[in-house]
């Protein structure tokens, strides 16, 4: 019995000793596996800080054409995308009432003129009779006063005709400017009024990109900063411009500010109303340490602290470096602290490395200086 207890105690002590004994060889065997890596020299280049936004193109001169008189559309004379000249017909409204009013005014004018002609003939005869002494001068004066009255009636009727003609002409909606029909808002048969634009006409030679810039970037924007604009539908097409207008305030709801970029469009490459992507250059710096983004291991707090990890080749082993990253330049990252130009940076196989890890070079990546 006592022998069994002694054996059990010995086994327990051996088990405890085994549990407490470290096994560095096994851990080191995992950590120190030779890793194949690729390296590239740390280089300096140019960093362009920019904010990229999505906005809309609008005409510099844009007119929403509405009728003066409320009436239904009889006929549309244009379609979206067609060019029109100033004064060209855009649409015709139903004008029965206006035409009737004009006819009545015209008839009233004809009657007034006929009455004036009759009074004028009578006045001529009376003057002859007065000269012959057959009619008193008082009768002549009465006819002259009557003529002045009917002549005033003629002028009044002529004004009524002019007004009726203007009312009738308002049933024809014409373009106030030369440009392109950007939008047709109503269709034939729709009721159009002062608050219901029928057609929008824009001058296509000059357009503006309207952008809403987040507050943190808006505070850095200045008039004259270079901007690259490209349509979302044709990303390969790019037009250069400058910040032409910066709004004076930040919207309290969206926390954005208004920025406009005025663009020449004489060749008609851009289309008003289309969505665009614009990149506003906030600044550029030369001689900045730039490395491939794949060579930097970002952490959960990198966005807040700027701290990340990189590895450099130190002979036959990898040395861990804590770096502070800056802006991203396409596929490269700015390194503000932790690396110097000329060091051999490990760019492939980084995620498998630990500090002091033995490495073997699988090949070096060559990059053009300054890029």
Distance from C-alpha of 178 to C-alpha of 139, rounded to nearest angstrom: 61
For the stretch 189-199, pLDDT in tens is 888 887 789 99
The predicted-structure confidence for 38-75, as pLDDT tens digits, reads as follows: 999 999 998 888 899 999 998 888 888 988 878 888 88
Strand, helix or coil at 136? coil
Mean pLDDT computed over 306-320: 93
Look at residue 193 in the predicted model and tell me its pLDDT. 81
pLDDT level of residue 235 (50, 70, 90 thresholds) = confident
Architecture in CATH of 31-47+286-364: Beta Barrel (2.40)
Domain residue spans in the chain?
Answer: 31-47+286-364, 51-60+201-285, 67-93+172-200, 95-170
* pLDDT tens, position by position, 21-30: 444 444 444 5
**Residue carrying structure tokens 């920019």:** 50
HEC per residue, 167-198: HHHCCEEECCCCEEEEEECCCCCCEECCCCCC
Q: Which fold has domain 67-93+172-200?
A: OB fold (Dihydrolipoamide Acetyltransferase, E2P) (2.40.50)
> What is the average pLDDT value for the chain, to the nearest integer?
83
Is residue 87 scored above 60 in pLDDT?
yes
Band of residue 99 on the pLDDT scale cut at 50, 70, 90: low
Q: pLDDT-derived band of residue 98, with 50, 70 and 90 as boundaries? A: low
CATH 1.10.1060.10 fits 51-60+201-285, yes or no: no
Q: DSSP 3-state assignment of 303?
A: helix
- Helix (H/G/I), strand (E/B), else coil: 323: strand
Q: Cα(93)–Cα(190) distance, rounded to whole angstroms?
A: 10
Query: Is pLDDT at 105 greater than 80 in this prediction?
Result: no
Q: What is the CATH number of domain 95-170?
A: 1.10.287
End-to-end CA distance of the chain: 82
pLDDT reported for residue 14? 45
Over residues 248-294, the pLDDT tens digits come to 999 999 999 999 999 988 777 788 888 999 999 998 889 999 999 99
Please list, in sequence order, all residues whose beta carbon lies within 8 angstroms of the beta carbon of residue 261, skipping any fewer than 6 positions away: 208, 209, 211, 227, 229, 241, 242, 243, 244, 278
As a whole number of angstroms, the distance between CA 64 and CA 56 comes to: 18
Q: pLDDT confidence of 315, banded at 50, 70, 90?
A: confident
Give 158 or 19, the one with higher predicted confidence.
158
């Amino acid at each position: 019995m006592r022998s069994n207890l002694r054996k059990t105690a010995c086994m327990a002590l051996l088990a405890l000793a085994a549990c407490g004994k470290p096994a560095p060889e096994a851990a080191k065997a995992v950590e120190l596996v030779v890793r194949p890596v690729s390296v590239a020299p740390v280089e300096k280049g140019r960093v362009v800080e920019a904010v990229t936004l999505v906005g809309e193109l609008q005409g510099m001169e844009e007119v929403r054409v509405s009728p003066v008189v409320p009436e239904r559309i009889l006929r549309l004379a244009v379609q979206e995308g067609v060019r029109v000249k100033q004064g060209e017909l855009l649409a015709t409204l139903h004008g029965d009432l206006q035409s009737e009013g004009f006819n009545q005014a015209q008839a009233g004018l004809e009657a007034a003129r006929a009455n004036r002609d009759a009074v004028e003939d009578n006045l001529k005869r009376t003057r002859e009779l007065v000269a012959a002494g057959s009619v008193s001068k008082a009768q002549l004066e009465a006819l002259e006063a009557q003529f002045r009255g009917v002549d005033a009636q003629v002028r009044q009727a002529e004004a009524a005709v002019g007004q009726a003609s203007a009312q009738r002409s308002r049933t024809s909606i014409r373009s106030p400017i030369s440009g392109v029909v950007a939008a047709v808002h109503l269709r034939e048969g729709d009721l159009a009024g002062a608050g219901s634009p029928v057609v929008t006409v824009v001058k296509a030679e000059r357009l503006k990109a309207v952008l809403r810039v987040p507050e943190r970037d808006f505070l850095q924007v200045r008039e004259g900063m270079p901007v690259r604009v490209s349509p979302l539908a044709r990303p390969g097409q790019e037009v250069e411009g400058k910040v032409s207008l910066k709004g004076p305030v930040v919207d309290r709801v969206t926390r954005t500010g208004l920025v406009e970029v005025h663009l020449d469009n004489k060749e008609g490459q851009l289309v008003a109303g289309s969505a665009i992507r614009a990149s506003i250059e906030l600044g550029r710096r030369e001689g900045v340490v730039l490395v491939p983004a794949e060579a930097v291991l970002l952490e959960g707090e990198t966005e807040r602290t700027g701290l990340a990890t990189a590895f450099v080749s130190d002979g036959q082993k990898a040395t861990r470096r804590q770096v502070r990253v800056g802006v991203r330049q396409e596929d490269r990252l700015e390194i503000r602290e932790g690396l110097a130009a000329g060091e051999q940076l490990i760019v492939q196989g980084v995620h498998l490395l630990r500090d002091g890890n033995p490495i073997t070079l699988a090949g070096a990546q060559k990059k053009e200086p300054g890029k």
